Amino acid sequence: MIGLSLLDDLNDRQREAAETIDGPVLIFAGAGSGKTRALTYRIAHMVREKGIAPEHILAVTFTNKAANEMKERITRLIGDDARRLWAGTFHSICSRLLRRYGEEIGIAPNFVIYDEADQTALIKQAVSIADIDSQAYTPTRIRWAISSGKNELLDPQDYARARKGPFDEIVARVYSRYQQALRENNALDFDDLLVKAVELLRSRPKVLAALQERLRYVLVDEYQDINYAQYELVKLLSARERNICVVGDDDQSIYGWRGANVGLILSFQADNPNTRVIKLEQNYRSTQKILDCAHAVIRVNEDRAEKRLWTENGAGDNLVVYEAVNEEEEAAYVAGVVARQVRNSGTRYADYAVLYRANAMSRNLESAMREKGIPYEVVGGMSFYDRGEIKDLAAYLKLIYNLDDSISLRRIINKPARNIGEGTVSRLTQLAHSEGVTLFEACRLAGEESDLRKAQKEAVLHFYSMIRRLHEDAAAMSVSGIVKAVLERSGYTDALQASGKADDADRVDTLGELVTDAVKYEQSADEPSLGGFLERLALLSDLDKAEDLGSSVSLMTVHASKGLEFPIVFIVGMEEGIFPHERSMGDQFELAEERRLFYVALTRAQRMVYMSHARGRTIYGSPHGMIPSRFLKDLPPESIDCKFDADSPLMPRMFGDEEAAVRERTVLAGGIDITDVLRRARENSAAAAAQRQEPQTPPAQPSGGETVPEPTEAGKRKPAGATRKKAARSPAKQKKAASVQPLGTGTKVVHEDFGEGIVVSVDEKGDEPAVTVAFVAKGIKKILANHPKLKVRR
DNA sequence: ACAACTTTCTATAAA
DNA sequence: AGAAAGTTGT
Ligand SMILES: Nc1ncnc2c1ncn2[C@@H]1O[C@H](COP(=O)(O)OP(=O)(O)OP(=O)(O)O)[C@@H](O)[C@H]1O
């Protein structure tokens, strides 16, 4: 439909990237410069103009959602051929590879994928057998160590050889047992998917050759966050044709903690002779002020490739830094701004994202959103798929799919209660050991002859035949049919319904949703299968799992927001110990990564950013005083407005006895000196006041109007969340919004009844913005910002 | 074996 | 504060 103008949507540099299809290409550029778009169009161009069959192209993305959206966009550009493209995350691609070719290296095609909880459970077993002090060496720490070993492609022997201390010694021992246990369970953990895929390609030249023949063009997005195993995989696959195009930004490397190595993108050019390096400098996403702030933050880091971005989008509004009393008030502020803007400024809920450093911080935000009736969607954290009942159901499915999976078996053998307790399970384990059979087979043996009591024998045998029958029947059933059969035959639903508790009724509903999920899967998958469904369950990213971002406010971690964009972004919890996180504060490298993370957060925004920090916060149930994040200090003062809330009873004191206020607040904050907060607040109020004197200064309240960059195309990795046109606003709304504009902290005002005064704070929590004004004659009063008797004093 | 109660631990980030 | 783990009584 686009004809010859396919590449018209690209600038010159992007077009160069899209047209250079042979040999190594590195697209290296800052945030929002159109890297992903260049990649997408490059694929379309290859198929459409260069006649390359889509099945010869492999595109690796960071989430499956990104892969699907890329496919969809390419489908729009070139038609249904795009469906034959290979696109996905490293993990899903490896999983598919191993299902197909895994037997070559001894992996049965019905392997199951172990998630973190399964891994930890397995390590616990390995640790207990190995008689290791599990106090000093927690399963979690060992899991981390094993995982980082795997990311470097170290097998247990390599790990033992490279050990550096007593901890590594233990890890090496556990690692070896752990791998043994995985084999016995016919399971792979997340990291194994990569490790085994590399092993396959390295050791089976025929398989490698077949894949190289098929995958002649390899493209990788977000290359700054790949680990060594992934690097090796890409290298192997692209070794023959050497048509490898990678895209990334060293400033956005935020996954070092899980083994990603930013050096791999920095050395790409050296690694691949004749690499064409393409740098993109025009930013299409954000306002100049957002870019200024982002650059001011990231330039502090050393050892980075300097990239200066420019934009035609205009300056935009000043970014806002809000000081909240505590986390609740912070959340109320966010919800208040959203509610008011959606009401008054013609924005939509989907235009907003609230970003935070840690998943646990979503709680307050959620309740604030609920309170104001704002639709929201939490990405990641404790989601649908993490609920106990879903994991139970998944465990049933895994066991039915792979009868060797003892971890899943243990999980559900007594769910619902079947009178098979811990004691019985450990007897079964012993039996399995002594007879050299799987735990599942041990159930059958135990039912025939063993020292179990009659009731237990029957229960175990009954469980065995139930699973056995499901396993056999599954072959002829649809995925949703299997799911339903499990729920019925296991008695799981019955038990929940019989309990009569409200929570359990909710659980029944949740399980019903998984049935729906299975039906949807059947409809969308090319060849639906239980294995495919389980793979999806295991490998979907948090972002993939989230639904309906198109009509709600998105709540997610900064990590999850990578690659996305939103018109308006909130970044909450800008405090020392939170962002940067205290566990990163002791290490320069980790601190630099925290800074990059903040850079990523800022650069998600198209037209407005609100940052907030709380003076106090409840952590582990007890109150803590918080210091504003060091990153806030790096923001250019001329591009930000600071606000704080005078409703806190302490604030007015600042105008009288400031020292007392400081003392009082120091106590409030748990003994931590917050003088710095006050100093900064004063400075910024003064700066803001000074700025407001100048006529051309944009208003503090984002109007959703003039400075808004043009709406994006159907929208990046965020389908329905595109920006609204400004023309849609009614004159009445415009007038209303306009009258609110100039009242920021420090503004001098005059009131018909109260006389002259100065704005002490702006309250955005309510539906209508209110200001607290210190009147010279009448003292401090709180008034609606658009009150007709209130005027700005020139 | 299991429900109800008490104590301890927890919250980086994620496929 | 809330979840997980541990403990007690039936
Ligand atoms: N040539 C262009 N003309 C107009 N808009 C563009 C152009 N290229 C990209 N854009 C828009 O700019 C925004 C950012 O593009 P894109 O997501 O591709 O950037 P990116 O470099 O991948 O960003 P990030 O580094 O954050 O992942 C998108 O909304 C995209 O539609």
Separation between Cα atoms, residue A168 and residue A153, nearest integer Å? 16
Mean pLDDT of A769-791: 69
Mean pLDDT of A83-97: 94
- Is pLDDT above 70 for A638? yes
Mean pLDDT of chain A: 83
Question: Ligand 1 within 6 A of A62 CB?
Answer: no
pLDDT band, residue A11 (cuts 50/70/90): very high
Residue A130: the pLDDT is: 61
Positions on chain C within 7 A of a protein C-beta: 1-2
> What are the pLDDT digits (tens) for A208-237?
999 999 999 999 999 999 999 999 999 999
Nearest to A260 by CA among A476, A90, A507: A90
Mean pLDDT of A177-201: 95
Q: Count CB-CB contacts under 10 A for residue A729.
A: 17
Q: Which residue has the higher pLDDT, A755 or A63?
A: A63
> What are the pLDDT digits (tens) for A649-701?
333 323 333 433 443 343 333 333 334 444 444 444 444 444 433 333 333 33
Residue type, A654: M
Residue A286: the pLDDT is: 97
> What are the pLDDT digits (tens) for A100-118?
999 999 999 999 999 998 9
Residue A662: the pLDDT is: 42
- Is pLDDT above 70 for A85? yes
Question: Ligand 1 within 6 A of A714 CB?
Answer: no
Q: Does the annotation mark A279 as catalytic?
A: no
Residue A164: the pLDDT is: 84
pLDDT band, residue A619 (cuts 50/70/90): confident
Separation between Cα atoms, residue A130 and residue A630, nearest integer Å? 45
Q: Which two tokens stand for residue A183?
A: 């084999």
What residue has token string 């208040």?
A336
Q: Does the annotation mark A35 as catalytic?
A: yes
> Tell me, in Å, how far CA of A2 is from C1' of C8?
74
Separation between Cα atoms, residue A526 and residue A700, nearest integer Å? 51
Question: Ligand 1 within 6 A of A398 CB?
Answer: no
CA A601 to ligand 1 centroid distance, Å: 16
pLDDT band, residue A724 (cuts 50/70/90): very low
- Is pLDDT above 70 for A455? yes
User: Is 0.90 exceeded by the ipTM?
Assistant: yes
Question: Ligand 1 within 6 A of A676 CB?
Answer: no
> Tell me, in Å, how far CA of A119 is from C1' of C1?
28
Q: Which residue has the higher pLDDT, A309 or A730?
A: A309
> What are the pLDDT digits (tens) for A311-362?
999 999 999 998 888 899 999 999 999 999 999 999 999 999 999 999 999 9
Counting from 1 in the atom list of ligand 1, the atom nearest the Cα of A249 is: 25
* Nucleic acid strand B within 7 Å of A423 CB: yes
Q: Taking the alpha carbons of A60, A29, A353, A258 in that order, is the dihedral positive or negative? A: positive
Highest mean pLDDT among A136-140, A424-428, A733-737 belongs to A424-428
Between the alpha carbon of residue A424 and those of residues A98, A427, A443, A457, A683, the distances in Å are 36, 5, 10, 9, 69
- Is pLDDT above 70 for A543? yes
Mean pLDDT of A460-476: 93
Range scoring the smallest mean pLDDT among A417-426, A613-622, A687-696, A780-789: A687-696
In this complex, which residue's CA is closest to the C1' atom of nucleotide B9? A620
Mean pLDDT of A719-736: 28
Supply angle C-alpha A187, A191, A197, rounded to 5.
Answer: 80
Give the residues across from A790 on adjacent strands. Answer: A751
Q: Is residue A628 classed as helix, strand or coil in its secondary structure? A: strand
Contact A626, A576 (CB under 8 A): yes
Separation between Cα atoms, residue A250 and residue A261, nearest integer Å? 10
Separation between Cα atoms, residue A336 and residue A265, nearest integer Å? 42
Q: Which residue has the higher pLDDT, A739 or A444?
A: A444
Residue of minimum CA distance from atom 12 in ligand 1: A284
Q: Which residue has the higher pLDDT, A510 or A529?
A: A529
Cβ-based neighbours of A361, under 8 Å, separated by 6 or more: A327, A572, A573, A578
Residue A447: the pLDDT is: 79
Separation between Cα atoms, residue A308 and residue A311, nearest integer Å? 10
Residue of minimum CA distance from atom 27 in ligand 1: A563
Residue type, A547: E
Q: Does the annotation mark A772 as catalytic?
A: no
CA A715 to ligand 1 centroid distance, Å: 9
In A403-445, DSSP assigns E strands to none
Q: Does the annotation mark A222 as catalytic?
A: yes
Q: Which residue has the higher pLDDT, A246 or A174?
A: A246
Q: Count CB-CB contacts under 10 A for residue A696.
A: 6
- Is pLDDT above 90 for A595? yes
Q: Does the annotation mark A230 as catalytic?
A: no
Q: Which of A252, A341, A424, A745 is catalytic?
A: A252
Q: Which of A43, A45, A70, A285 to mutate to test the pocket of ligand 1 (most atoms within 8 A of CB)?
A: A285
> What are the pLDDT digits (tens) for A250-301?
999 999 999 999 999 999 999 999 999 999 999 999 999 999 999 999 999 9
Positions on chain B within 7 A of a protein C-beta: 1-3, 10-15
- Is pLDDT above 50 for A523? yes
Q: What percentage of chain A has pLDDT greater than the value 90?
A: 56
Question: Ligand 1 within 6 A of A37 CB?
Answer: yes
CA A36 to ligand 1 centroid distance, Å: 6
pLDDT band, residue A169 (cuts 50/70/90): confident
Mean pLDDT of A87-95: 95
Separation between Cα atoms, residue A784 and residue A771, nearest integer Å? 6
If you ran DSSP here, which 8-state letter would residue A119 be given?
A: H
Question: Ligand 1 within 6 A of A562 CB?
Answer: no
Contact A285, A566 (CB under 8 A): no
Contact A754, A775 (CB under 8 A): yes
Cβ-based neighbours of A234, under 8 Å, separated by 6 or more: A60, A218, A220, A226, A244, A246
Q: Which of A13, A14, A15, A36 is catalytic?
A: A36
> Tell me, in Å, how far CA of A402 is from C1' of B1?
28
Residue A690: the pLDDT is: 43
Mean pLDDT of A562-575: 96
Phi then psi dihedrals of residue A334, to 5 deg? -60, -50
Nearest to A120 by CA among A99, A101, A141: A141
Between the alpha carbon of residue A597 and those of residues A115, A131, A558, the distances in Å are 25, 40, 7
Cβ-based neighbours of A413, under 8 Å, separated by 6 or more: A420, A425, A443, A463
Give the residues across from A320 on adjacent strands. Answer: A610, A641
Contact A679, A284 (CB under 8 A): no
Question: Ligand 1 within 6 A of A567 CB?
Answer: no
The H or E element spanning position A607 is: strand A605-614
Question: Ligand 1 within 6 A of A36 CB?
Answer: yes
CA A32 to ligand 1 centroid distance, Å: 5
Q: Which of A595, A604, A692, A718 is catalytic?
A: A604
Contact A493, A511 (CB under 8 A): yes
- Is pLDDT above 90 for A365? yes
Q: Does the annotation mark A81 as catalytic?
A: no
Give the residues across from A172 on adjacent strands. Answer: none
* HEC string for A129-190: HHCCCCCCCCHHHHHHHHHHHHHCCCCHHHHHHCCCCHHHHHHHHHHHHHHHHHHHCCEEEH
